[in-house]
Amino acid sequence: MEDHWDLVGRAVRAFREEIRERPVATDVAAAELREDLDRTFGDFAVGRPLPEVVRHVSRMMRDGNVQTTHPRYFGLFNPAVLPAAEAGEALAAAWNPQLAVWSHAPAANEIERHTLRFFLRRFGFDPDAAAASFTTGGAEANLSAVLAALARAFPAWAEEGLAALPGPVGIYLSAESHDSFDKVARMTGLGRGALRAIPVDASFSMDPARLEARLARDRQRGRRPLMVVGTAGTTSAGAVDPLDDLGRIAREAGAWFHVDAAWGGVAALVPRLARVLAGIERADSVTFDAHKGLSVPMGAGMFLCRDPDAVARAFSVRASYMPGSVRDTTDPYLTSVQWSRRFIGMKVFAVLAELGESGLAAILERQADLGDRLRERLLAAGWRVVSDTPLPLVCFTHPRIEAGEIGVHEVARRVLDSGRAWVSVVRPGEPPVLALRACITSFETTDEDLAILVSTLDASV
């Protein structure tokens, strides 16, 4: 039997060697994939040799997906994966430690703790006086923030639930904030009515004056501000809310200040971009996703919180069957949404350990430079850039689109059908600005890839 590590390694290596010559996306039908699986594997009544399974799945993954690790995938926040992160993920799978309690996985828990302390410092927290945990992603981290805010604002909430609230509460966030808060509002029982969407300005950032006006109006009507959410890197346009102003307003209103920096938090590691996060040090909590900007596999979110007591009130439980806690350590099941949990942080640790902060910053700096050069190329080719962000994300349109001669979705479809690149369509702002969106997500993207993207766009209008 072939060694399974060597088998998988050869499959991955072959894909990496040919990826530039392959289309970014291929048109595949669900019926075709289902027929293939039924024909080859059926109902699993009979097993298959592992080499055959690996080869078949590798072919399906090669031919049946949008290739988010492709250098010309300019889509959502799905980066190419660094070799160190792949190794870290493999080590986590092979040892398979259970991180619910410290005593079951001392080494794994301490590796995660060491890694989280690095990010706490970078976002302005005191690592000796804060709480932090790895999460499945930004949605879980945002949920954790709302639960911690409820625990601090309403001490009886943990026992009595929403009945402990004296009346309706508000979560104040940008109209461009992540839609995970819609789910969070429902999961917590607060309901969508608790979400108070604040209009954005011309740069697609939250307008502080309108936030203050909405807070005053809601207070007069008996709604208590629970949380103000600042977004650092909106999904549509990469906008960063004025965090310093929002932090001040939240403090004056007696509200929890949360910063959703799931993607834009990478700016904290790039000296010339760090200024865009000014004010994040005011945050009570921060969401950050390593799997969006640090070239590690999904999922690798983080929840960072200034108030460990609120976290404990939100998540602590008594379970007689769990091993006892060890002094001067943290049991993750007592401080997070998850109970059983895989070794999420290993892949993030591996990247930092191999590259160091300076090496990782150099990769991110290069991607930011490519974003600047993409703006320059688009403008030189007659396109109009409609977003204003120093992060490597560009929203743009064309005079022919604005004149109604061709639709923006048609342009995007032509780019995708070419197989040469992948871009998306977004509608930031109110009234919405319909635009194409390109984000630099791969550390392997080059200037030549930018040239191919722009030439493909030109051919599509």
CA distance 204 to 240: 8
Mapping DSSP to helix (H, G, I), strand (E, B) and coil, where does residue 189 land? Answer: coil
pLDDT of residue 322: 87
CA distance 276 to 232: 8
**Interval 254-281 mean pLDDT:** 97
The H-or-E segment that residue 50 falls in is helix 50-63
Nearest 5°: phi and psi at 432? -65, 145
Q: Kindly tell me if the per-residue pLDDT of 357 is higher than 90.
A: yes
Alpha helices by DSSP H, 132-277: 138-153, 157-160, 180-187, 208-220, 243-253
CA distance 98 to 333: 11
pLDDT of residue 2: 60
Considering the entire predicted model, what is its pTM? 0.95
**Interval 339-347 mean pLDDT:** 95
CA distance 230 to 211: 11
pLDDT of residue 20: 92
pLDDT of residue 275: 95
**Interval 210-229 mean pLDDT:** 97
- Quick: pLDDT tens for 91-101: 999 999 999 99
**Interval 300-304 mean pLDDT:** 98
Q: Kindly tell me if the per-residue pLDDT of 428 is higher than 60.
A: yes
Could you tell me if 200 and 430 are in contact, meaning their C-beta atoms sit under 8 angstroms apart? yes
Could you tell me if 206 and 246 are in contact, meaning their C-beta atoms sit under 8 angstroms apart? yes
Q: Treating both helix axes as pointing N-terminal to C-terminal, what angle do 308-315 and 138-153 enclose, rounded to 10 degrees?
A: 100
Could you tell me if 289 and 77 are in contact, meaning their C-beta atoms sit under 8 angstroms apart? yes
- Quick: pLDDT tens for 30-48: 999 999 999 999 999 999 9
**Interval 392-414 mean pLDDT:** 97
pLDDT of residue 1: 52
In the chain, what percentage of residues exceed pLDDT 90?
Answer: 93
